[in-house]
Amino acid sequence: MHGQLVYRVKVGNFLKLFVAFCLFANKLRNEEHLLPKSPFDLMVQFFLGLSVVKIVGWKIVGHVTLWDLETGWYELGTLWVDPAMRKHGVGEEIMSNLLRQRDDLRILMTTTNPIVKAMSAQLGLQKISFHDLEPKVQASTCVCSSAKMGTNDFRCCCQKDFLFKFSIKTCFVFVNKRLAKLLLLCYNSDTCQRSSVGRAVVL
């Protein structure tokens, strides 16, 4: 089954979607590289037009969203594909769709997942250093547990690319090429223009 990429749903399908997000949120608890999220948080993201999900029979088999860092930046995260659908291009499909829809936003992504690192490069995202981010942006994106960071101070996280010898657990930050070029010119500017979102698919 190929499934359907979904950006919005009709009111009559709200309950089906809610159940799907409840089941999905439960699965996130067992993912090593992802932070747990509540179904309510995930649904709010969806209805704000910040998520793309792939659904098969009202079961979420692929998900990605943009979390508002409240700094003028959005973080691409909660990227997940059902184990049975992995290695079939679902991750690339939902990521590329979301990046294309919301190219009006300043988007970054951090990850320790080696598969996601490789996929990000294939999709044209550019790896930069945490040094390139302002402290307020670092503070917003570095929200892992102290056990994972090895410290209570996000500035000293042992997984950051410039603080730790590169390994499979090293955390990298990516932005798309367009934003990487504009980073120095537009980072502190309020003049960046935002275009409208593309038409949504309604089920």
Q: Is residue 36 part of a domain?
A: yes
Please state, in angstroms and rounded to a whole number, the distance separating the CA atoms of residues 67 and 159.
21
Q: Give the CATH number of the domain where residue 78 resides.
A: 3.40.630.30
Domain ranges, residue 82: 4-186
pLDDT tens readout for residues 12-24: 788 999 999 999 9
pLDDT tens readout for residues 166-176: 444 677 788 87
172-176: strand order across its sheet? 4-6, 51-56, 59-68, 74-81, 107-111, 172-176, 125-128
DSSP string, 8-67: B--GGGHHHHHHHHHHHHHHHTT-TTS----HHHHHHHHHTT-EEEEEETTEEEEEEEEE
**Which H or E element spans position 99?**
helix 90-101
Total domains, the chain: 1
pLDDT tens readout for residues 71-108: 788 999 999 999 999 989 999 999 999 999 988 888 98
Q: Is residue 202 part of a domain?
A: no
Q: What is the pTM of this model?
A: 0.73
